[in-house]
Structure formats: C-alpha cells, structure tokens
Amino acid sequence: MQPDKINHNETLLSTPLITWILLAFACLTSPVALAQSNAVPDVSAPEVVASAQTSDSLHAQNIRKLLTIKEALEEKRARIRNLVEQLGNADEVDQEMLRGQITTMRQTINDLELSFENIAVSGASLRRLQDEPLKSLSWHDELMQVARPLLNSLKEATEKPRRIEELRREIDLYQQQFEVTRRATEALARFDLQVLPPGVATGLTELETTWRERSRDIERSLELARGNLNSLESEEVDLLATFGGIAREFFLGRGLTLLIALLTGIGIWFSMRALRELVRAKRPAQQDAEKAARLRLLFYAYHLLTVVVVALAVLSVFYVRGDLLLLSLAIITLVMLTLGIWRYLPRYIDEGRLLLNVGAAREGERVIYQGLPFRITSLNLYSELRNPELDGVVRLPLSAVAQLISRPRGNDAWFPCRVGDYLLLADGSFAHVLQQSIEWVRLKVKGSIVQIATADFLQQPARNLSVDGFGITVTFGIDYQHQQIALQQVPEQLRTGISAAFAASDYADDLKDLKVAFKAASASSLDYLIYASINGNSAASYIAIGPLIQQACVDICNQQGWIIPFTQVTLHQAENSALAESPKDTA
C-alpha cells in the first residue's frame, strides 16, 4: 500500500492549483465552458497514437473490472438463494438472523450493480438531474430556489475535486475495514489448529465464511475506488485551451449579458440626468420658499426614481437574456440593500422634512456650525452654508444638516470685522485685517503677519476701530501761576487750538467731538482732561492722533506764554522718547 500513499501525496501537491484557478471563473461561466474544461483537446499525430493506446489499456482494465463484478454478483445471488432455502427450515431466532443477512446481501448486490453501471457508462449519471418531489412553499425554500443557480455553478466547478476527495475518503475507509477483516480472519484461523466440538466448529466455519466474503467485498470495493481515483487523476487538462474556451464562452454568453446590462444602466442614468438638468435650466431663478421646497422634494424623489428605473432595467436585461445566475445575484443584492435602507427610513423622513423647509434647519436662516455663524443658502442633497463676511463655502450632506438647528437672522452681525478694518486687540496691540476666511484670519500686527484660526479669533475680545470709531484721552498740565485763568480761559484756548490742529490735519472731517475739562490740581500742575471722539475712517491713524493733541497743547502754551511744569515736561519726554533716553538721563 505504500505506492498508493505516495501517489496520494503527490496528487495533493499537483491538482489543487489547477482546480482553484478554474474555480475563480466558475461562477461567471456557463456549463458549456465547464464541460470544455473536462474535455481532452486536440493534439498532434504521435500524441493521438499514445492517447489511443492509453484508451485501449483503460478499456481492458474496465472489462476486467466488469467481469470481477459480474462474478461477485453471481456469487451473491447464489448466496441469497442458499439463505432463502435455509430460512424455510430455521426457527424464529435463526430466521431473524437470516433475514438480516439477506438484507445486507441485497444491499451489497445493489452497490455492485451500481458500480457495474458506473464503469460501463464512464461515470455518467442521471441522479442529479431527476425532478425533486413537490414540497410546501416557504420563504426559506423560495430564497434557496433563487440562490440555487449560484450554488449549482459552484457545485459544478468543484465537482472533480469533490469527487476525488470522496474517493480518497472511501479508500481510507476501505483500507481500515480491510485491516479489520484481516485481523478477524486471522483470529478465526487460529481455531483450525484446535479440536473443537462439532457445534462450535460449524458456527466458526460459517462465521469465517462470512468474514472472508466481507473481506473480498471490501477488497473489491477498494480496487474499484482506486481505479476511479486513478482515472480522475489521470485526466489531462490543457490550460490554454480550457481558458480560451472559458473566455470565449464568457464573452459570448454571460460577459455579453453583463455588458448589455451595464450599457443599459449607464444610458438610462445619463438620460434621466439630462432630463433633470433640462427641467432645472428652464425653471425661474427666483422662486418663493414654498415652491422651492416642493421642487427640492420633487428632485429628491426623481433621484430615487432614477435608481429604481436603472435597477429594473438591469433586471430586465438579465431576465430577457435568460441568465438565472446573474438574475439571482441581482435580486439577492437588491433585497439586501432594501433591508439596509429600511433601517435608515427615519433618517430619510427627516431629510424629506428638510427638503420641504419645515425641519429644524431652514433655508435663509442663521445656524452655528463648528463655532462659526453661517447662513443656509441652499438646501439640497448637498446643502451650502456661507458667511457673508468670510471667504469660502461649506457643503454638507442632508444627514449633517439634519443635526443642526437654525434661527431667524435678526440684526446679529455675521463677523466682528471685515478685510481692511483696524482692530485693537485684547492685549492692546493695534492690528490691521488682511484676509479672513472660514479657516483663518490673517492680521498685520507691529509690522508682522499673524494668522489665527477663525473660531479662535471669534472667541477673543477685540475693538473694531474702523466700524465703531474710537476715542483718544490725553492729560495735559500747566503751572500753578496760571491759576486765575485755569477754569475758563485755558480750557477754551486748548479746545480752540486742538480744533485748529485737527482742521489742518488729514482727518479734519473725522473729528466728531472734542471735550476739554479741568481734571484735577495735582502736586505740581493743574491738569486738564482732553477727550477726542474720532470717526472710524481715521482708524489707521489711531497711534498718531495722541501725539497730535499733545503737540497742539504745547503750541498753545508757547503762543499764550503758559509755563509747563518741569515734572510735566519730564513726564511727557519719558512717554514720547523713552527709546532715546536712558534711565539715568531721565532722572
């Protein structure tokens, strides 16, 4: 038995590669291609002679097998006739045993007849093609009926490797059974060397006969299984011819069906889309909110109708072409998609309310998305959010818009500043807005470019000098020797001089208000509070306006001969020229 095991191991290493390569094409090829894969291709003249010789040798082997089986059948039938004769003369206990032996023998005869027929017709069988009895209908059976073409294709593709595996299991089982019968006959043969009572000897003789018959039957079945296995493994397959036949059958059969279905689906899809764009192009640009909502819902339903029409068209192609496998696969896919869509039905209802503009988020209203205010400019399969003051647009699917809640716009500003505005930041820095988008705000601060995330910028407090305007507060003092004119004449003179200085500057029209009032009598001077309210148009000169007021006050003092206290002069010099003087010089 060692050569058989070696042959078995070599087959395991050689045949599965070809089998699994063919299996990859099985589900999309027809039974004709499968039949071609098992056919023997045309070869040259010497190969034909060798093939004929091999065929004659196999034919002779089959004849010997048929003769062996026929002799076994005659032996079994004679054995049954002998048992039937014994049945008439036996008691009840022996009759039951004899009936069991007759039943077993008849089953063996049926198996031998089936093997005889299988060898004679080269394995052809109609058992798989017989009609099944009618059964009661059930959804499970109907689903299996739909999936049966796919399962049959897989079964046909794996017919040869499955049959080889079955024969190998049978050979292993027969070898084990043959080993058991061998040990049993050897054990019974030991009794032949001993003197036994007549009754025991008769029983042992019958038992030995039975076990020897079993051993011959098992050995015969083992030889038949080995012959069938060798026949299957000896079949040669021309891969080039096989693949060529499969490819040709595929492109002329199922491949052509797939191509027709694909072209039909694409054609209907683009036709429906072109019709939709034609209707959309002819509708008025400006429509009331209610009519626009109905049109959005109509287009949404049109999308669903397009999908349904394309699916029905593809199914129709498979049906007309008579390809049950592709039709079954398409139906199974559509059923799975339908079951999956059913779970999302509540979400689709919410999206339908959005399209009707009756949901939580409505077109034209204000909504907060990722910390920024936006206006919903359009509600559609992909909705648009825009901020009038920021560059860029946000496109969101309906599922994302359904999570938002909008409100009427009101009088709220969309953003605290615009490009070109001047700002006073929380840390006192003076900034110029260069660019602002939905992602970033770029500022110019002290000559450098600073980039801040838009959401973070919105959270920082900042004064917009260009929009709101601004005020400049200056404190100026004169000497105590001018105390008599300090309350009336000095404030009026300062106000007149500062107004004249503004009139001569570039921002004369932007001075909205100017106030000069006595503030306090400090330790060394009489101090005045000067407040100038400036329009936002002069926001770029925010830093220069304070020194202008100080310069105007000094000019007035020079004109009127007013003395500026030493400490006051020292203070102003420290404020205006701290970068030019050291602490020692200031002291």
The predicted-structure confidence for 180-233, as pLDDT tens digits, reads as follows 888 888 887 777 766 666 656 776 777 788 888 888 888 888 888 888 888 777
Name the residue ranges covered by the structural domains of the chain: 2-124+138-238, 253-343, 422-464, 469-586
CA–CA gap between residue 464 and residue 542 (Å, rounded): 12
With vertex at residue 418, the alpha carbon angle to CA 542 and CA 535, rounded to the nearest 5 degrees, is 35
* Ramachandran angles phi, psi of 413, nearest 5°: -75, 150
Across-strand partners of 391?
437
Residue type, 327: L
CA 202 – CA 312 distance, rounded (Å): 79
The single-letter DSSP state of residue 144 is H
DSSP letter at 524 equals: S
Average pLDDT of the residues in 145-159: 62
Q: Which two tokens stand for residue 404?
A: 């938002």
- Reported as a pLDDT band with limits 50, 70 and 90, residue 492 is very high
Which residues contact residue 379 at a Cβ distance below 8 angstroms, ignoring those fewer than 6 apart? 293, 296, 354, 355, 357, 361, 362, 363, 398, 401
At 283 the three-state DSSP class reads: coil
Q: What global pTM score does this model have?
A: 0.45
**What is the CATH architecture of 469-586?**
2-Layer Sandwich (3.30)
Place of tokens 């007549």: 198
Angle, helices 139-157 vs 324-343, to 10°: value is 130
Strand order in the sheet with 382-386: 366-369, 372-378, 382-386, 394-397
Q: Flag whether pLDDT at 558 surpasses 70.
A: yes
- Tokens standing for residue 506: 């570039």
From the centroid of its chain, how far is CA 393? Answer: 26
User: Percentage of the chain surpassing pLDDT 70?
Assistant: 73
For the chain, the C-alpha Rg in angstroms (whole number) is 52
Alpha-carbon span 309 to 328, nearest angstrom: 18
- Report the pLDDT averaged over residues 332-337: 83
- State how far the Cα of 348 lies from the Cα of 115, in Å rounded to an integer: 63
**Rounded alpha-carbon distances, angstroms, from residue 453 to 367, 436, 473:** 19, 9, 33
Q: What is the dihedral of CA 227, 231, 233, 239, to 10 degrees?
A: 180
Q: Answer for the pair 511, 533: CB distance below 8 angstroms, yes or no.
A: yes
Cα torsion 59, 62, 63, 65 to 10°: value is: 160
pLDDT digits (tens, 9 = 90+) for 43-91: 334 444 444 555 566 667 777 777 888 888 888 888 888 888 887 777 7
- Tell me which of 19-33, 124-138, 156-170 is least confident: 19-33
Q: Name the band, by pLDDT with cuts 50, 70 and 90, for residue 24.
A: very low
